[in-house]
Amino acid sequence: MSAAVDAWEAVIGLEVHVQLRTASKMFSGAATAYGAEANCQANVVDVALPGVLPVVNAEAINKAIRFGLAVGGDISADSVFDRKNYFYPDLPKGYQLSQFAQPIVAGGLVHARRADGSLLQVQLTRAHLEEDAGKSIHDAFAGATGVDYNRAGTPLLEVVTEPVLHSAADAVAYLKALHTLVRWLGICDGNMQEGSFRCDANVSVRPRGSDQLGVRSEVKNVNSFRFVEKAISYEIERHIRLCERGEQPVQETRLYDAARDQTRSMRSKEYAEDYRYFPDPDLPPLRLSEAEIAAQREQLPELPQQRYRRYLEELGLSDYDADLLSTERALSDYYEQVAAAAGDAKLAANWVLGEFSAALNSAQLNVEDSPLDSARLGGLLAKLASKEINGKIAKKVFEAMWRSADSAAEAIDRLGLKKIDDSAALAAMVDQLIAQHPEQWAQLQQGQDKLLQFFIGQAMRATRGQADAGVLQGMIRDRLGQ
């Protein structure tokens, strides 16, 4: 099939529903916390009792603005909430409030990296605010379906790409970058199992070289990176197989069945006109002033791709380290503080990704819950950078600091690991070692230089690593008359 595959180009556009991290819902004051007892977090607005009015959640707006600014999109001074009308039991109002004609964010670019390190820039069409629907529960009652309206009205930012992706791997690289970004901005918890970040994948194929779009299918609500990759791969192959047979794929909505690793048709695709969109008469247009937008701009942190570049270009970190340290905001911020306190960015990177991450892992802790704060770790690394202690001692001190509130200096004192810089004491020890190992000393005098390491090793052992290897070497060479 590979010759046939080469003749076709896959075209993919993704729609991601990013659940915004707000305490209350998009248009009501009900709580959004996940996992509550069914229908305990749905109020009169969420279940559409007559005569109640929606009120826009300002925090959701601010988070959408921050997203738009972070991707370099245009923030609309005027955007409008429309009613998207359809009938479904999990939608008590009979319509979903969504931004159709005038979204809050237009355009924008997401910077992603492929597994091979190359850059992938993905053009966004738009990002718009909308509310989530409730959930149908099919397995709780025999012969009946239950509905849980807790999720109804939860704020979502739907982020839509242009049809510019051409492989399942690129689609996943984009999704991971978007996932990193929304968590970095603190606008979404990113929890995919709980549905806080869900993806619809639109897939079509066309003869390679063509600039027309083929008929697409849309795979709905895939909630893991691995399944997105599999679902898209499956769809690409299915489309190619149809086209090879001279058949036209149909525009439809499909479901991915992970157990069978295949997609199946759910319903034929509805078109925008089926929804009878119109501006919600209960909500005024959303008008944003320059000052409101500027206030959000001021809150933007340095972005992951900016940090990544800075780590590579200014700090000289490896691609691998720069990538790892610019993915999770908490770890990255921790690293920033350690590096500043240590005065050595590369050393700090090695320790944050090495010793520190390993310790977090084995204690099964998040960075935020680390018992060792960044200032203390930075203090330890400053001593290592200035060669006040060596790497071996630093590891012992690290362990002691992990288990206590000691500063580096206190831990070094407490463990009796202070560096021996009393050269009279070291000189006496060197003389003693020479007396204890006359054969080795003779060989060293005859020019067997590797025995230098033997003496330094003995001295290090005798001082539990606290002697300065450079000073020792100088003393031994002195006695050799070198």
- Which residues here bind ligand ADP, judged by CB under 6 A? 11-15, 160-163, 202-204, 213-214, 216, 218
CA 66 – CA 356 distance, rounded (Å): 32
Report in angstroms how near the CB of residue 131 gets to Mg ion at its nearest: 16
Whichever of 15 and 373 has its CB closer to Mg ion, that residue is 15
Whichever of 252 and 302 has its CB closer to ligand ADP, that residue is 252
- Picked from ligand ADP, Mg ion, none, the partner binding residue 408 (CB below 5 to 8 A depending on kind) is none
CA 454 – CA 459 distance, rounded (Å): 9
- Picked from ligand ADP, Mg ion, none, the partner binding residue 11 (CB below 5 to 8 A depending on kind) is ligand ADP
CA 138 – CA 97 distance, rounded (Å): 25
Whichever of 11 and 325 has its CB closer to Mg ion, that residue is 11
> Of the listed pieces 12-20, 70-78, 277-285, 415-423, which binds Mg ion according to CB under 5 A?
12-20
> Of the listed pieces 15-23, 140-148, 279-287, 355-363, which binds Mg ion according to CB under 5 A?
15-23
CA 157 – CA 75 distance, rounded (Å): 14
Dihedral sign, Cα of residue 404, residue 408, residue 410, residue 412: positive
CA 356 – CA 31 distance, rounded (Å): 37
> Of the listed pieces 8-16, 378-386, 397-405, 423-431, which binds Mg ion according to CB under 5 A?
8-16
Whichever of 7 and 462 has its CB closer to ligand ADP, that residue is 7
Whichever of 73 and 214 has its CB closer to ligand ADP, that residue is 214
Residue 229, token pair as written in the block: 């990759």
> In this chain, which residue has its C-beta nearest to ligand ADP?
13
CA 215 – CA 451 distance, rounded (Å): 76
CA 291 – CA 188 distance, rounded (Å): 24
Angle at 441 between CA 435 and CA 444, to 5 degrees: 165
CA 156 – CA 457 distance, rounded (Å): 63
> Of the listed pieces 11-19, 104-112, 123-131, 279-287, which binds Mg ion according to CB under 5 A?
11-19
The closest alpha carbon to 257, from 233, 225, 222, 229, belongs to 222
Report in angstroms how near the CB of residue 121 gets to Mg ion at its nearest: 22
CA 56 – CA 130 distance, rounded (Å): 11
> Of the listed pieces 10-18, 239-247, 286-294, 359-367, which binds Mg ion according to CB under 5 A?
10-18
Whichever of 163 and 279 has its CB closer to ligand ADP, that residue is 163
The closest alpha carbon to 437, from 413, 402, 461, belongs to 461
Contact call for residues 194 and 224 (beta carbons, < 8 A): no
Report in angstroms how near the CB of residue 323 gets to Mg ion at its nearest: 31
> In this chain, which residue has its C-beta nearest to Mg ion?
15
- Picked from Mg ion, ligand ADP, none, the partner binding residue 217 (CB below 5 to 8 A depending on kind) is none
Burial class (CB in 10 A: 0-12, 13-18, 19+), 224: middle
- Picked from Mg ion, ligand ADP, none, the partner binding residue 161 (CB below 5 to 8 A depending on kind) is ligand ADP
Report in angstroms how near the CB of residue 269 gets to Mg ion at its nearest: 8
- Picked from Mg ion, ligand ADP, none, the partner binding residue 213 (CB below 5 to 8 A depending on kind) is ligand ADP
Report in angstroms how near the CB of residue 378 gets to ligand ADP at its nearest: 44
Whichever of 218 and 336 has its CB closer to Mg ion, that residue is 218
- Picked from Mg ion, ligand ADP, none, the partner binding residue 204 (CB below 5 to 8 A depending on kind) is ligand ADP
Report in angstroms how near the CB of residue 402 gets to Mg ion at its nearest: 49
Report in angstroms how near the CB of residue 79 gets to Mg ion at its nearest: 19
Q: Are strands 82-85 and 95-98 parallel, antiparallel or unpaired?
A: antiparallel
Angle at 67 between CA 61 and CA 73, to 5 degrees: 105
Report in angstroms how near the CB of residue 255 gets to Mg ion at its nearest: 14
- Picked from Mg ion, ligand ADP, none, the partner binding residue 14 (CB below 5 to 8 A depending on kind) is ligand ADP
Report in angstroms how near the CB of residue 381 gets to ligand ADP at its nearest: 46
Whichever of 14 and 459 has its CB closer to ligand ADP, that residue is 14
Whichever of 99 and 332 has its CB closer to ligand ADP, that residue is 99
Report in angstroms how near the CB of residue 191 gets to ligand ADP at its nearest: 23
CA 96 – CA 83 distance, rounded (Å): 6
The residues that touch Mg ion, with contacts defined as CB under 5 A, are: 15
